Amino acid sequence: MSDSQFTCPECQSDHVVKNGKIHNGKQNFKCRECGGQFVQDPQNKIID
Ligand SMILES: [Zn+2]
Protein backbone atom coordinates (compact mmCIF):
# COMPACT_ATOMS: atom_id res chain seq x y z
CA MET A 1 0.00 0.00 0.00
CA SER A 2 1.35 3.38 -0.94
CA ASP A 3 0.32 6.62 0.69
CA SER A 4 2.13 8.71 -1.85
CA GLN A 5 -0.34 8.11 -4.66
CA PHE A 6 -3.24 10.52 -4.66
CA THR A 7 -6.10 10.96 -7.02
CA CYS A 8 -8.00 14.05 -7.98
CA PRO A 9 -11.48 14.19 -6.44
CA GLU A 10 -12.71 16.01 -9.51
CA CYS A 11 -11.52 13.83 -12.37
CA GLN A 12 -10.02 10.84 -10.53
CA SER A 13 -6.72 11.36 -12.29
CA ASP A 14 -3.55 10.36 -10.46
CA HIS A 15 -1.66 13.03 -12.33
CA VAL A 16 -1.39 15.31 -9.33
CA VAL A 17 1.54 17.28 -7.99
CA LYS A 18 2.31 18.77 -4.61
CA ASN A 19 1.35 22.40 -4.41
CA GLY A 20 2.72 23.55 -1.08
CA LYS A 21 0.83 23.53 2.18
CA ILE A 22 -2.16 25.43 3.39
CA HIS A 23 -2.42 27.54 6.54
CA ASN A 24 -3.03 24.60 8.88
CA GLY A 25 -0.11 22.59 7.51
CA LYS A 26 -2.11 20.20 5.36
CA GLN A 27 -0.53 19.14 2.10
CA ASN A 28 -2.10 20.83 -0.88
CA PHE A 29 -2.13 19.20 -4.29
CA LYS A 30 -2.87 20.36 -7.78
CA CYS A 31 -4.29 18.23 -10.53
CA ARG A 32 -2.45 18.52 -13.81
CA GLU A 33 -5.40 17.15 -15.72
CA CYS A 34 -8.20 19.51 -14.70
CA GLY A 35 -6.16 22.13 -12.87
CA GLY A 36 -8.15 21.72 -9.67
CA GLN A 37 -6.60 21.98 -6.25
CA PHE A 38 -7.41 19.82 -3.26
CA VAL A 39 -6.09 18.97 0.18
CA GLN A 40 -5.34 15.44 1.20
CA ASP A 41 -6.39 15.02 4.81
CA PRO A 42 -6.65 11.38 5.90
CA GLN A 43 -6.83 12.35 9.57
CA ASN A 44 -9.96 14.43 9.27
CA LYS A 45 -12.54 12.60 7.17
CA ILE A 46 -15.53 13.95 9.07
CA ILE A 47 -16.55 17.51 8.37
CA ASP A 48 -18.71 19.23 10.92
ZN1 LIG B 1 -8.48 16.63 -11.78
Give how many domains the chain has, as a whole number.
1
Q: What's the CA-to-centroid distance between 1 and ligand 1, angstroms?
A: 22
In a domain, 16, yes or no: yes
Q: What's the CA-to-centroid distance between 14 and ligand 1, angstroms?
A: 8
Q: State residue 44's pLDDT score.
A: 58
**Who has greater pLDDT, 18 or 47?**
18
In a domain, 45, yes or no: no
Q: What's the CA-to-centroid distance between 13 and ligand 1, angstroms?
A: 6
Residue 3's domain comprises: 1-40
Say if residue 1's pLDDT is above 90: no
Instruction: State the CB neighbour count (10 A cutoff) for residue 3.
Output: 7
In a domain, 30, yes or no: yes
In a domain, 7, yes or no: yes
Q: Give the sheet arrangement for strand 27-31, strand by strand.
A: 16-21, 27-31, 37-39
pLDDT band at 4 (very low <50, low <70, confident <90, very high): low
In a domain, 9, yes or no: yes
Q: Indicate the pairing of strand 37-39 with strand 16-21.
A: unpaired
Q: What's the CA-to-centroid distance between 31 and ligand 1, angstroms?
A: 5
